Structure 1
Amino acid sequence: MSRKTAPSSASRGLPRRAADAREWLGGIRFSGFTAIMLGLVVLGVAVLSPTVATYVEQRQKIAAMQESVQVTKDEIAALERERERWKDPAYITTQARERLYYVKPGEVRFLVIDDLEEAETPQDPKPVSSEVEEKSSDWTGSLLRSVVGAGTAETAMEITIGVPDDPAVTETPAR
């Protein structure tokens, strides 16, 4: 019994890998059992994929909630430390001095309004343009002229304010 061998890949002009793949695929037998097993694998993947997706989603939610619980525990611990500090009379005194500017009897507290560092102090700004300049004005003189002018006016108007479209609204000159 002599067996026929397939011509080599070099004689057919195919690369060696393609020939090896073809030989390997040619050796696979497709039977009914293989079809049933392949169908069961596909069915199993189709049935289990939603369950696996739900499992992964729930694990992510659990991890997020655990992180939230840890953050809350940290906040509670910080608040408890703050509460313990408020039980100390020296801390209360310090906070009253700093926040509310309380002083002990006989003490004098000075508030420094312009306490910027020298580097942070604004420098003299350059003029915006050569045409725009700041003009000094005598606002006290303007105020005095306005008050005197209003007080010495010959005619003044008395205005009674009421509901619109109301005949009670009158404008009568006062003398």
Structure 2
Amino acid sequence: MKSRQRTRRVPVALPTSDIGPAAWLRSIRLSGFTIAVLTLVILTVVVLAPSLRILVEQRQEIAALTAEVERQQAEVDDLEAERARWDDPSYLQSLARERLDYVYPGELSFLVIDDGSTPTDAEGLPISDDIQTTDVDWVSSLFSSVLTAALTDAPAGEIVSPSLDTPAPDEQAPEVPAPEQPAPDAPSEEG
């Protein structure tokens, strides 16, 4: 028998010039079926893309409207709770006691006038603690008002305080000449 000699196979390396992107591109074989499938995929994307965009926009709009409905429902629930509180007599009594200082007959109410806090004006600035005096003599103004009301012949709606019409002592009113009246001895023209 003849003995067979074993041969050893060694892999052969490909030349380095065929290993680039150009070799990969040349190795692609496009058949008619592959081109048809790629065309269908591209057409599907082109046809469905606007519909998918509209679907996503509608989903976002639905989510925004759902959140708005939930917010409005919470507001309605708050208003219904407020309305239910106004139907409660004890709530109304507490509001009348707090805001209007109402008390039941026989009860004593204590109001704290000076609680030690600094009063503020509408802008939040502190109001001065110093006593300020005015230069108006209120006694004489009151007396002149009473005299004007008592001694006038004008109807009640036409009474004007003299303190408003007369100038202050520091100011001098301009002198207005009196209208000329005919002399009593002169003959009148009516005659």
What TM-score, normalized by structure 1, do the two folds share? Answer: 0.56
What letter is aligned with 1:76?
V
Output the CA distance in 1 between the equivalents of 2:97 and 2:178.
57
Q: 1:24 to 1:98 in 2, by over 3 A?
A: farther
1:147 matched to 2:168? The reply is yes
Q: Is the 8 A contact 1:103 1:109 kept in 2?
A: no
2:63 aligned residue = 63
Consecutive unaligned residues in structure 1, runs of 5 or more: 123-136, 157-172
Counterpart position of 2:108: 107
Distance 2:34 2:14 in 1: 27
1:6 aligns with 2:14: yes
How large is the Cα RMSD of the aligned pairs?
A: 4.1
Distance 2:116 2:65 in 1: 46
Q: Secondary structure at the match of 2:14?
A: coil
Q: Does the residue aligned with 1:47 lie in a helix, a strand or coil? A: helix
Deviations 1:23-62 (A, max 9, x none): 5544321223222222211111111001000101111111
Query: Comparing 31-40 with 97-106, which one deviates more in the overlay?
Result: 97-106
Counterpart AA for 1:41: V
Q: Give the aligned partner of residue 31 of structure 1.
A: 31
Structure 2: gaps (5+ residues): 1-11, 119-124, 127-131, 138-162, 180-191
Counting matched residue pairs gives 132
Greater fraction helix: 1
Deviations 1:112-151 (A, max 9, x none): 476648xxx97xxxxxxxxxxxxxx975169x9x62245x
Amino acid at match of 1:54: I
Distance across 2 between alignment mates of 1:52 and 1:113: 70
Letter of the 1:140 partner, please give it: D
In terms of fraction of residues, the more strand-rich structure is 1
Identity of aligned residues (%): 39
- What do residues 93-130 of structure 1 show as CA deviations (whole Å, max 9, x unaligned)? 1112223333334533525476648xxx97xxxxxxxx
Q: Which has the larger radius of gyration?
A: 2
Instruction: Quote the offset at 1:84 in angstroms.
Output: 1.9
